[in-house]
């Protein structure tokens, strides 16, 4: 089904994205689109090939601790500034490419946050990924061709 018939939503504290059907037989129904992501989804963008790029806030010990109990989830969710502080504890940067069927195709990860951290948006354009972050005053750029080349070299050496 085409993406113009659905809306994807990130569920920040549950490490998943839901799909809300806007038209057709399933109109008004929500279902899990992708679950058990390696980070907390913040923003979803459609890629030129029909897949999706999901900006992920890296999981942190604080975030995992908060998610352990319903009471702590409710307290943190009641205070948006507190939720942002818990998410900001993750220093790395991560994005996932997800197929239109909800399959994670690949995850790109800068776990140390050496280049950019706290990615809140990702957009693919002309073979490059552009990253936005609330924690930086610049836009990051990554060539997907260079990623493929580096991954090919890593696979050949192992």
The domain spans of the chain are 37-157
Residue-level pLDDT at 60: 66
**Strand-strand pairing, 30-34 and 119-125:** unpaired
Q: Are 124 and 45 in contact (CB under 8 A)?
A: yes
Residue-level pLDDT at 120: 86
pLDDT for 110-148, tens place per residue?
877 777 877 889 999 999 999 998 777 889 899 999 988
Tell me the two tokens of residue 100.
């239109």
> Does the pLDDT value for residue 39 go beyond 60?
yes
**Strand-strand pairing, 104-110 and 39-46:** unpaired
Residue-level pLDDT at 110: 83
Residue-level pLDDT at 53: 96
Specify the higher pLDDT residue, 118 or 32.
32
Q: Are 139 and 130 in contact (CB under 8 A)?
A: yes
Q: State pTM to two decimals.
A: 0.74
Residue-level pLDDT at 150: 81
Q: What are residue 104's DSSP bridge partners?
A: 98
pLDDT for 58-111, tens place per residue?
766 666 676 677 777 677 767 766 666 655 555 678 999 999 999 999 999 887
Alpha carbon 89 to its chain centroid, in Å, reads 16
Residue-level pLDDT at 152: 77
């Amino acid at each position: 089904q085409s993406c113009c018939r659905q809306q994807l939503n990130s569920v920040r504290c549950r490490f998943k994205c839901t799909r809300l059907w806007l038209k057709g037989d399933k109109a008004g129904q929500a279902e899990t689109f992708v679950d058990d992501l390696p980070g907390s989804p913040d923003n979803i963008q459609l890629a030129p090939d029909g897949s999706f790029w999901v900006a992920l806030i890296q999981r942190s010990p604080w975030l995992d601790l908060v998610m352990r109990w319903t009471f702590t989830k409710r307290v943190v969710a009641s205070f948006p500034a507190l939720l942002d502080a818990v998410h900001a504890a993750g220093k790395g940067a991560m994005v996932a490419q997800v197929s239109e069927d909800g399959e994670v195709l690949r995850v790109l990860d800068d776990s140390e946050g050496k280049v950019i951290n706290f990615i809140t948006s990702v957009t693919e354009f002309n073979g490059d990924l552009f990253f936005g972050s609330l924690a930086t005053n610049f836009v990051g750029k990554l060539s997907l061709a260079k990623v493929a080349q580096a991954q090919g070299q890593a696979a050949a050496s192992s």
